[in-house]
Amino acid sequence: MPQALEQADGRWAWVVLLASLVTQALTVGFPSCIGVFFTDLQRDFQASNSETSWFPSIMGAMLHCGGPLCSILIKRFGCRVTMMLGGVLASLGMVASTFSDSLIHLFLTAGLITGLGMCFSFQSSITVVGLYFVRQRPLANALASIGISMGVTLWPLLARYLLETLGWRGAFLIFGGIFLHCCVCGAMLRPVATNVDPEPKEDLLLPPKTPTRSCLATCVSTIQYYLAFDILRHNMVFCIYVTGATWMTLGFSLPHIFLVPYAMHHGMEEYWAAMLMSIVGFCNIFLRPVAGMLAGRKSLAAYRKYLFAVAILINGLTNLICTVSADFRVLLGYCLVYSLSMCGTGILVFQVLMDIVPMDRFPSALGLFTILCGMGSLISPPLAGLLLDTTNNFNYVFYMSSGLLISASLFMGVGFYVAEKKLKQDRQAKMEDATSEITSKHSLTSEDKDSAKKQPYPENIYVTSV
* Position 177 pLDDT exceeds 70: yes
> CA angle, 395 as apex, 390 and 401 as ends, to 5°?
95
Q: What is the pLDDT of residue 414?
A: 93
As a whole number of angstroms, the distance between CA 111 and CA 54 comes to 9
Q: What confidence tens digit (pLDDT) does each residue in 236-245 have? A: 888 999 899 9
State CA 167 to chain mean position distance: 32
Rounded mean pLDDT, 8-14: 77
CB-count burial class (<10 Å; 0-12, 13-18, 19+) for 275: buried
Q: What is the pLDDT of residue 444?
A: 54
Rounded mean pLDDT, 166-195: 87
Alpha carbons within 13 angstroms on the beta-carbon side of residue 5 total: 10
Buried b / exposed e across 143-170, counting CB within 10 Å, b at 16+? bbbbbbbbbbbbbbbbbbebbeeeebee
Predicted TM-score (pTM) of the model is: 0.68
Using CA atoms of 58, 64, 70, 71 in order, give the dihedral in degrees to the nearest 10: -150
323 or 35: which leads in pLDDT: 323
* Position 203 pLDDT exceeds 50: no
Q: What is the pLDDT of residue 449?
A: 53
Q: What confidence tens digit (pLDDT) does each residue in 251-310 have? A: 888 887 788 888 888 888 877 887 887 788 788 888 887 877 787 777 777 888 899 999
Task: Return the number of other C-beta atoms located less than 10 Å from residue 274's C-beta.
Answer: 26
Q: What is the pLDDT of residue 394?
A: 87
Q: What is the pLDDT of residue 204?
A: 37
Task: Tell me the range of 221-235, 367-381, 407-421 where mean pLDDT is highest.
Answer: 407-421
As a whole number of angstroms, the distance between CA 276 and CA 260 comes to 8
Task: Return the number of other C-beta atoms located less than 10 Å from residue 44's C-beta.
Answer: 16
Under the banding of pLDDT at 50, 70 and 90, the label for residue 21 is: very high
Q: What is the pLDDT of residue 64?
A: 77
In the chain, where are the structural domains located? 12-194+224-426
Q: What confidence tens digit (pLDDT) does each residue in 107-121 have? A: 999 889 999 999 999
Rounded mean pLDDT, 164-182: 92
* Mean model confidence pLDDT for the chain: 81
Under the banding of pLDDT at 50, 70 and 90, the label for residue 62 is: confident
Q: What is the pLDDT of residue 205?
A: 39
Q: What is the pLDDT of residue 91?
A: 94
418 or 360: which leads in pLDDT: 418
Architecture of domain 12-194+224-426: Up-down Bundle (1.20)
434 or 20: which leads in pLDDT: 20
